[in-house]
Amino acid sequence: MIGLGDGSIGVVTVAGTDTNGNASTLIANADLGVSANEGGSSNGTLNINTGGLVTVEGTTTIGENGVVNLGGGRFEFGTISAEDLDRISGVSGSLAGSVGPTLTGVNDIADLDDVSLRTLGGSAFDRTLFPNLAVAVDTSEVNSGGNSGLLFGVGASLFGLTNNFNGEVEVITGERMIFAGAGSSNTGQITLAGGQVQFTQGFTNRSTGLVVGDGGLRADDGMINDGTMAFSATARVIGDVTNNTTGLITSSGGTTTFFDDVTNNGEIRTNAGSFTVYFGSYSGNGDTGTGTVIMEGDLKPGFSPGLTSFGGDLTFGNSASLLIELAGLIPGFEYDQITVVDDLILNGRLDVSLLGGFTPSLNQVYDILTVGGDRTGQFDGLGEGELVGNFGGTDLFITYAAGDGNDVALFSPIPEPTTLALLGLGGLIGLSRRR
């Protein structure tokens, strides 16, 4: 304890290195208190200057009269409250430790004070939230207590959210919970029971994280999914979504709407009788479910190019666009191909582009849409057999009767007989000249 008794004054300075360059070190094997006697009038000061290292294995407590100055050294404070962390001042140096305590029990977010809200903060605190702190923060080693209880209600926090493995956040109809800090993440459960959870910055649903229910999930700086998102009834997802290889997003018993861009590197599944609607762009893997997927934005198959499969019905809305890239003749590898297991409804635009210097030739076919069920509709302005455009000097046309009669393909024309004759004549002339 630095500054223990009433009226006492205690000053400890840790600084400098020995001849071998080793830091001057102070190790507290348990807790460290700086003017931490409750209700006392002691004055304690801890200075950690260049070359100094203070390591606390327990909890650091800084009282109202306590001062911790960081001037080039390193303070590994163990565990500290958000309120006490704000009492650290400095001009240089580094910090590492855990900001707590962890929020436990059943809590209404509207009843939490500023200190309690800070415990919800993300995996690394942002020093802009601590005006007295002007030092370099070792974000790889600084984390917060987070939530390990049940958090519910209506309210806003200036800090992010770390929802721990045994923590749950729940919002019912009419409720809205806002987290404005950086680094928000979920390893527990977020239950949408008709309400909305909003992150004004980014959000990561980690591998053990579960987001479940109906309502709204919003991340203004985008969200990353490594875990499971299971939506039902009417669900709204706002903000760009990156579904990583371990991520699973399902829609069951209702309609899930994505209002911004979705990149699917994992699995997205629309179960039978359910609908998933995309208003932004959609790229990557397809949908493994047997429900209905509705595209109102851009569909970019595969991974430039690639194969995208939809296990149920696929509908292109009036505002949709299908972007097809051609780089060769192998479907799914050298040009984009979409497989629809059930029915296909076409509307919207078709955009075709070439990749890697590829140039189409005459008498080539590109099966861009294979349909297991029925196909209805056509792309805007493109009737059967009409010209899609000229690509590298070769005209490409469209047919809706390819494959078994209802697939969609692009094709270049077969050379006319007169052209073939001229080509043959040219060969004979060349042959006679060589003779």
Mean pLDDT of 341-358: 96
CA 213 – CA 191 distance, rounded (Å) = 6
Which pair of structure tokens corresponds to residue 23? 């830091």
Q: Is it the case that residue 411 has pLDDT exceeding 90?
A: yes
Q: What's residue 102's pLDDT?
A: 76
Task: Note whether 397 and 365 are within 8 A (CB).
Answer: no
Q: What share of the chain is helix, strand, coil (3-state, %, to 5)?
A: 10, 55, 40
Helix (H) or strand (E) holding 427: helix 417-434
- 429 — pLDDT class (breaks 50, 70, 90): very low
Which pair of structure tokens corresponds to residue 59? 């909890």
Which pair of structure tokens corresponds to residue 336? 């984009």
pTM to 2 decimals?
0.78
- 430 — pLDDT class (breaks 50, 70, 90): very low
Work out whether strand 407-411 and strand 365-371 pair parallel, antiparallel, or are unpaired. Answer: antiparallel
Q: What's residue 393's pLDDT?
A: 94
Q: Which tops the pLDDT comparison, 376 or 83?
A: 376
Per DSSP (E only), the strands in 101-209 are: 106-108, 136-144, 150-152, 155-157, 162-163, 168-172, 176-179, 184-186, 189-199, 203-205
Question: How big is the chain by its Cα radius of gyration, in Å?
Answer: 31
Mean pLDDT of 18-29: 88
Mean pLDDT of 165-180: 94
Q: Is it the case that residue 424 has pLDDT exceeding 60?
A: no
Which amino acid belongs to residue 249?
I
pLDDT tens track for 253-289: 999 999 999 999 999 999 999 999 999 999 999 999 9
DSSP secondary structure letter of residue 111:
G
CA 406 – CA 375 distance, rounded (Å) = 6
Q: Is it the case that residue 412 has pLDDT exceeding 60?
A: yes
CA 130 – CA 124 distance, rounded (Å) = 13
Question: What would the DSSP string read from start to end of 270-337?
Answer: E-TT-EEEESS-EEES-B-SSSEEEESSEEEEBTSS-EEEESSEEEE-TT-EEEEEESSSSBTTTB-E
Phi, then psi, of 424 in degrees rounded to 5 = -65, -40
Mean pLDDT of 195-207: 96
